């Protein structure tokens, strides 16, 4: 059995770090892991997607349409863009945040209305206000940990595994605040 996780967002939001934390957690649990990342041109404020797959043996490094067990979306529009990658009974965790793409800013296209409602109609949906929680903790950058916390139960692994991987991955000065941020998401009622 291979578990498929997708992390989607806007370039610069820290999707890469999140996928690396999930990958390391899976490795700690003894799984074979593959992570596929996006670097270079596509990162510059563009739509970015990274994949984490883990199981007894993983071949393909990417998750394909209809195969994701969990999608973690750092932005609403990106959640909608990749929702068709979700498995029938998969879960999508959405950070309730809007970033207008340039195609919307220039007026060429409209930002879709009612994304959360659309998603809740046919998926298992978890909505989290990551930025709000991060700002309450005093650092907007820990929003990744809040969102990851909200997705952690859907991915699996014990709490200890998550916290120790976060300790190993984030800058040492920010371990405590990242742990707090993770717990905000982890304890949220879904």
Partner 1 sequence: MSNKVIMLGNEAIARGAFEAGVKVSSAYPGTPSTEISEYLSKYDEVYTEWAPNEKVAAEVAIGASISGVRSMACMKHVGLNVAADPLYTFSYTGVGGGSLFVVADDPGMASSQNEQDTRMIGRASHVPVLEPSDSAEAKEFVKIGFEISEKYDTPIILRTTTKLAHSQSTVELSERVEREPKPYERQVSKYVMMPASAIGRHVVVEARDNAISTDAESLSVNRIEWGDKNIGFITAGVAYQYVKEACPEASVLKIGLTNPLSKSLIEKFMKEIKTVYVFEELEPLIEEQVRAMGFDVIGKDAFTRQGEYSANMLRRVLGTFTGEARAKQTTPPRPPILCPGCPHRAVFSVLSKLKMHASGDIGCYTLGAVAPLSVLDTCICMGASISALHGMEKARGREYIKDWVAVIGDSTFLHTGVNSLINMVYNKSSATVIILDNRTTGMTGHQEHAATGKTLKGEDTYAINLKELCIAIGVPRVLEIPSFDTVEMEKALKAAREDDILTVIIAKAPCALIKGLKFPSFCSVDKEKCKKCGACMKIGCPAITKNEDGTVKIDATMCNGCGLCQGLCKFGAIGMKER
Determine the Cα–Cα distance for residues 71 and 155; give it in Å rounded to an integer: 10
Q: Which is nearer to partner 1, 4 or 186 (CB)?
A: 4
User: DSSP H helical segments within the chain, as ranges?
Assistant: 15-28, 76-82, 102-105, 115-122, 130-137, 143-155, 159-169, 175-187
Q: Is 78 in the site for partner 1 (CB under 8 A)?
A: yes
Q: Which is nearer to partner 1, 38 or 175 (CB)?
A: 38
Whose CA is closest to 177, among 145, 153, 155? 145
Positions 117 through 176 that interact with partner 1 (CB under 8 A): 118, 122, 140
Interface residue with partner 1, options 4, 70, 106, 136 (CB under 8 A): 106
Cross-strand bridge partners of residue 47:
10
Determine the Cα–Cα distance for residues 111 and 154; give it in Å rounded to an integer: 29
Determine the Cα–Cα distance for residues 146 and 164; give it in Å rounded to an integer: 16
Q: Is 32 in the site for partner 1 (CB under 8 A)?
A: yes
Q: Is 20 in the site for partner 1 (CB under 8 A)?
A: yes
H helix count then E strand count, the chain: 8, 6
Q: Is 70 in the site for partner 1 (CB under 8 A)?
A: no
Interface residue with partner 1, options 6, 7, 58, 133 (CB under 8 A): 58
Q: Is 113 in the site for partner 1 (CB under 8 A)?
A: no
Contact residues for partner 1, defined by CB under 8 A: 10-12, 20, 23-24, 27, 32-47, 58-62, 64-67, 77-78, 80-81, 83-86, 88, 99-106, 108-112, 118, 122, 140
């Amino acid at each position: 059995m291979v578990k498929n996780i997708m992390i989607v967002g806007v370039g610069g939001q820290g999707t890469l770090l999140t996928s690396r934390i999930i990958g390391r957690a899976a490795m700690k649990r003894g799984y074979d892991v593959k992570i596929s990342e996006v670097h270079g041109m596509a990162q510059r404020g563009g739509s970015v997607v990274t994949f984490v797959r883990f199981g007894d043996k993983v071949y393909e490094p990417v998750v394909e349409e209809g195969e994701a067990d969990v999608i973690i979306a750092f932005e609403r529009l990106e959640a909608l863009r990749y929702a068709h990658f979700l498995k029938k009974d998969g879960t999508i965790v959405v950070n309730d945040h809007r970033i207008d793409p340039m195609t919307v800013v220039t007026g060429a296209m409209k930002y879709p209305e009612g994304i959360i409602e659309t998603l809740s109609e046919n998926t298992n949906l978890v909505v989290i206000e990551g930025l709000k929680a991060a700002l309450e903790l005093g650092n907007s950058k820990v929003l990744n940990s809040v969102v990851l916390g909200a997705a952690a139960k859907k991915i699996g692994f014990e709490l200890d595994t998550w916290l120790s991987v976060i300790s190993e991955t984030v800058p040492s000065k920010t371990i405590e605040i990242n742990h707090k941020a993770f717990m905000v998401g982890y304890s949220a009622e879904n």
